[in-house]
Amino acid sequence: MELEVLRISSQADSTNGILFDITDGARKFLCYTIEDEFRAEKIRGETRIPEGKYKLTLRTEGGFHSRYSAKYGDWHRGMIYVNDVPNFEWILWHTGNTDESTMGCLIVGSNQTENITKKDGFVGSSVVAYKKIYPSIADAIESGEEVTVNYIDYDYRDGGKFLIPQPPRSGSGGGSVKFIFEHEVTIRTNIIYKNLTINRP
C-alpha cells in the first residue's frame, strides 16, 4: 500500500495538505491534513517532518495508544506510526483540529479551512476522517504488506517558497486557482477563503 501526503500551503503556524492513496497509480482522495509549519531548522513542537518516503507501522505502546484503546476498544489496533524520521521521534497520525494538536504528527480531517487568514489552520470532522482511513491502513500493515507514505512539499521547491494564493481584497469576490501536480494530475482548487474545497475532475 502506498500513500501520499501532498502539502499545499505552509504558512506562519501550520501546513495544509491532502492525503491520497496512490497504490494503483492514481491519486485516490482520502482526507485533508494539517501539520506544523515548514522550518529550515527544527524547533521542537513547531516543525513539520522532512519531505520523504517513510514506512508506516502500528505502534502499540505509549500514551496515545492507551487513550485510543480506551476510546475505540478493539477497533483500535495501534497508532499509525511513521518510522525513521530524521531528527524526530514518535510521529503518529491521529485526530485533532489545528496545529496546536500536533508536535510534528499528522492530523486528519474531513474538511479544511485555509491557513492564510487563519494561521493555525483547521480541519473538521477529524474523527470521521480517522475512522475512514484507519481500517484499510491497519489491515494492510497487519497482513504483512509494506505500507509507505511519501510526504511531498508541493508548497516548497529547492528551498524557495511557492506563491500561495492570497485572500481577495475587500469587495473583489472569490478566486480560482489551478494547481498542476506531477504525474500529469490536475486538481482544481477553489479558494473561498473560509473553506478549501478540492474538486476532483
State pLDDT tens for residues 102-155.
888 999 999 999 888 877 889 999 999 999 999 999 999 999 999 999 999 988
* All residues at 6 or more sequence positions from 34 whose CB lies less than 8 Å from its CB, including other chains: 14, 15, 16, 17, 96, 97, 98, 99, 102, 106, 107, 109, 112, 115, 121, 122, 123
Q: Is the pLDDT of residue 156 over 80?
A: no
Residues pairing with 199 in the sheet: 188
Q: Are strands 106-109 and 79-82 parallel, antiparallel or unpaired?
A: unpaired
Q: What is the mean pLDDT of the chain?
A: 80
Closest of 155, 151, 42 to residue 106, by C-alpha: 151
Q: 152: part of which helix (H) or strand (E)? A: strand 148-153
CA-based end-to-end distance of the chain: 24
Closest of 12, 2, 17, 14 to residue 181, by C-alpha: 17
Q: Are strands 122-124 and 111-113 parallel, antiparallel or unpaired?
A: antiparallel
The CA distances from residue 150 to 3, 54, 65, 164, in Å, are 6, 6, 24, 22
Q: Is the pLDDT of residue 166 over 80?
A: no
More confident residue, 80 or 190: 80
Q: Is the pLDDT of residue 180 over 60?
A: no
Q: Is the pLDDT of residue 35 over 50?
A: yes
Q: Is the pLDDT of residue 36 over 80?
A: yes
Q: What is the pLDDT of residue 171?
A: 44
Residue 16 sits at the vertex; the CA angle it makes with 14 and 19, to the nearest 5 degrees, is 135
Q: Is the pLDDT of residue 165 over 80?
A: no
| Positive/negative CA dihedral, 88, 113, 96, 128 | negative
Residue 150 cell numbers, joined: 511519501
Q: Is the pLDDT of residue 191 over 50?
A: no
Closest of 57, 55, 13, 58 to residue 38, by C-alpha: 13
Residue 184 cell numbers, joined: 500529469
Residue 167 cell numbers, joined: 485572500
State pLDDT tens for residues 66-98.
999 999 999 999 999 999 999 889 999 999 998
Q: 69: part of which helix (H) or strand (E)? A: helix 63-72
